[in-house]
């Protein structure tokens, strides 16, 4: 089948669909749309994981399996949230989706502590030498601990003095501390391995750094899921905020 009839389209309305590898049943793409959107991927020529996966399947003289998971939805916002929820539930190891889904950072999969902190968190009053690091587009509530660590630890513009005096780094999203790390050492950006990171030209224009460290259980007990919004001035653009109580 190359397209839906107008009769089918009128009854489908907005829908969520899956593309899977027929040789093993693994879902490699979750999408949303209406009309003949589901068939559009087979005409794409861009160099992407999704397109390459489709080519790989076709080389086996097979076609990706298409399944409509949800249909009959009347508005686009609802179907976007349904798509995001489905992506949150599927093993992302084999997914070729570039992004996690509509507003998945704000309304996606969260545990009870995260949901409580998002809507009712106590203020943190920090007594240690800490750099607070705001994450934005790189954050998802259901991201792996390794991804959260790698996105928190670099890459940053930070002076030698602050590198020498900062003992802890806290990952912050939506004004709330999501994880706490004890910094072991700072390195030039790109000199240590980080999952999903590629070299970019701006590293060469301004010296940038990344740290290596470990989750601090002591800091977790004191500060995890507490609010740090009050440490930033209104409309502040810098994603990093330093709290230096005890200087060398």
Instruction: Kindly list the structural domains of the chain, giving each domain's residue range(s) and its CATH number in brackets, ordered by start.
Output: 6-105 (3.40.1440.10), 112-243 (no CATH)
Write the CB contacts of 22 (distance below 8 Å, at least 6 apart in sequence). Answer: 57, 62, 63, 64, 65
Cα–Cα distance for residue pair 44/242, rounded to 1 Å: 46
Cα–Cα distance measured from residue 23 to residue 18, given in angstroms and rounded to the nearest whole number: 15
Q: Would you say 79 and 32 are in contact if contact means Cβ atoms under 8 Å apart?
A: yes
Tell me the C-alpha distance between 208 and 179, whole Å.
22
pLDDT tens digits in sequence order for the chain, 248 residues long: 789 999 999 999 999 999 999 999 999 999 999 999 999 998 888 888 899 999 999 999 999 999 999 999 999 989 988 888 888 888 666 788 766 655 555 666 777 777 777 777 789 999 999 999 999 877 887 788 998 999 999 889 999 999 999 999 999 998 999 999 999 999 998 888 876 665 556 566 788 999 999 999 999 999 999 999 999 987 778 899 999 876 65
For residue 42, how far is the Cα from the chain centroid?
27
* CA–CA separation, 101 and 87 (whole Å): 7
d(CA 108, CA 87): 9
Helix (H) or strand (E) holding 65: strand 65-73
Q: Give the integer Cα–Cα distance in Å for 211 and 188.
A: 9
Task: Please choose, from the candidates 14, 76, 66, the residue with its C-alpha nearest in 3D space to the C-alpha of residue 40.
Answer: 66
Q: What is the pTM of this model?
A: 0.64
User: Looking at residue 141, what is its pLDDT?
Assistant: 78
Residue 35, Ramachandran bin (φ over 0: left; ψ between -120 and 50: alpha; else beta): left
Residue 243 neighbours by CB distance under 10 Å: 18
Count the neighbouring beta carbons within 10 Å of the beta carbon of residue 203: 16
> ∠169-194-140 over CA atoms, to 5°?
65
What is residue 210's predicted lDDT score, i.e. its pLDDT?
93
């Amino acid at each position: 089948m190359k397209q839906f009839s107008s009769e089918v389209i009128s009854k489908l309305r907005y829908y969520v669909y899956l593309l899977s590898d027929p040789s093993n049943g693994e879902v490699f793409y979750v999408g949303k749309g209406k009309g003949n959107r589901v068939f559009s991927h087979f005409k794409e020529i861009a160099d992407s994981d999704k397109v390459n996966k489709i080519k790989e399947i076709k080389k086996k003289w097979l076609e990706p399996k298409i399944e409509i998971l949800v249909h009959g939805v009347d508005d686009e916002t609802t179907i976007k949230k349904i798509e995001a929820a489905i992506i949150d539930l599927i093993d992302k190891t084999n997914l070729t989706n570039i992004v996690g889904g509509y507003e998945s950072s704000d309304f996606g999969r969260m545990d009870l502590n995260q949901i409580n902190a998002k809507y009712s968190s106590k203020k943190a009053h920090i007594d240690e030498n800490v750099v607070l690091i705001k994450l934005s587009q790189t954050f998802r509530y259901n991201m792996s601990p390794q991804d959260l660590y790698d996105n928190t630890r670099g890459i940053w513009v930070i002076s030698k003095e602050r590198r020498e005096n900062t003992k802890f780094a806290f990952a912050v999203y939506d004004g709330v501390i999501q994880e706490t790390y004890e910094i072991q050492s700072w390195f030039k950006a790109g000199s240590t391995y980080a999952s999903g990171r590629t070299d970019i030209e701006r590293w060469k224009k301004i010296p940038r750094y990344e740290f290596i460290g470990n989750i601090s259980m002591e800091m977790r007990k004191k500060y995890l899921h507490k609010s740090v919004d009050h440490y930033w001035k209104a409309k502040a653009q810098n994603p990093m905020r330093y709290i230096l109580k005890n200087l060398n």
